Amino acid sequence: MSAKAKEHAARAALSYVEAGMTLGLGSGSTAEIFVELLGLVVDEGLSVRGIASSEQTADLARHVGVPLIDIEQADHIHLTVDGADEVGPEFAMIKGGGGRLLREKIIANASDLGVCIVDESKLVDVLGAYPLPVEVDPFGYTITAKKVFDVLVAAGCATPVMEQRYADDGKAPFITDGGNYIFDCTCTAIPRVRQVAAKLSAVPGVVEHGIFLDLVRVVIVGTDDGADILEL
């Protein structure tokens, strides 16, 4: 994804922002560009407040001057702008490449409107080429991972390959903001995505998974020349 395409998508998302809004702020490089641009319009006088989906986004928001509130203080989230790893039919998505899927999903689910900012490379006919992140509680995680594998096989994912995510130094497991582990599940294709999502959610020990359904009504696809706005 070119930096220009990301910026075009992020800039186009600003047109959904209105004074007085409480905004869910996503995570990842595209969402971060949005936060940076938001900081500029806040600097010019726009009054909004943000709820960050990760510590990293919170740090950036503070740095660029976007006022933040704790999610517990919010009775309403008007709009969430976030990136995605894959966007498929009906705007079903895989998210969580950055490991922030739990907070991202909580915020998206609480929002009046979800806007997703991506480039064309993220648009797919069938989800699953991108490894699906599944966040699991550390207690009993080996057992939980086996159950996740069984769900994926039963749902028709040919030969899922599951790998526990490690921190960048490769020495210790990656720990999410919520204190959990992540398994990245390479499925090649997830044929019945709604069924898989429901079955994964039903596995004890699965805290959350990266299949996002019905959480976005607008997808902004950035290109080197501009941005296309797709609406459901």
Among candidate residues 54, 114, 118, the one with its CA nearest the CA of residue 85: 118
| Residues of this chain, 107-146, that bind ligand 5RP according to CB under 6 A | none
Are the beta carbons of 48 and 74 closer than 8 angstroms?
Answer: no
Supply the minimum distance, in Å, between the C-beta of residue 99 and ligand 5RP. 6
3-state SS track over the chain: CCHHHHHHHHHHHHHHCCCCCEEEECCCHHHHHHHHHHHHHHHCCCCCEEEECCHHHHHHHHHHCCCECCHHHCCCEEEEEECCCEECHHHCEECCCCCCHHHHHHHHHCEEEEEEEEEHHHECCCCCCCCEEEEECCCCHHHHHHHHHHHHHHCCCCCCEEEECECCCCCCECCCCCCCEEEEEECCCCCCHHHHHHHHHCCCCEEEECEECCCCCEEEEECCCCEEEEEC
Rank residues 39 and 114 by Cβ distance to ligand 5RP and give the closer one: 114
Judged by CB under 6 A, the stretch of 98-106, 160-168, 175-183, 220-228 that binds ligand 5RP is: 98-106
The only residue of 9, 12, 25, 30 in contact with ligand 5RP, by rule CB under 6 A: 30
Q: Distance of CA 96 to CAs 38, 62, 116, Å?
A: 22, 23, 13
- Choose between 158 and 167: whose C-beta lies nearer to ligand 5RP: 167
- Told to check if 84 binds ligand 5RP by CB under 6 A, we report yes
Q: Determine, following the binding rule CB under 6 A, whether residue 88 of this chain makes contact with ligand 5RP.
A: no
Smallest separation, CB 212 to ligand 5RP (Å):
9
- Per rule CB under 6 A, is residue 82 in the interface with ligand 5RP? yes
Q: Which is nearer to ligand 5RP, 5 or 151 (CB)?
A: 5
Annotated active-site residue 104? The verdict is yes
Q: Does 97 bind ligand 5RP (CB under 6 A)?
A: yes
Q: Which residue in 8, 95, 105, 199 binds ligand 5RP (CB under 6 A)? A: 95
Give the nearest distance from C-beta 82 to ligand 5RP in angstroms: 5
Stretch that binds ligand 5RP, among 36-44, 83-91, 147-155, 221-229 (CB under 6 A): 83-91
Please pick, among 32, 104, 135, 208, the residue that the annotation labels catalytic: 104
> Would you count residue 24 as binding ligand 5RP (CB under 6 A)?
no
Q: Are 38 and 7 in contact (CB under 8 A)?
A: no
Residue 28 is a binding residue for ligand 5RP (CB under 6 A): yes
Query: Residues with catalytic annotation?
Result: 104
Residues in contact with ligand 5RP by the rule CB under 6 A: 26-31, 82-85, 95-101, 104
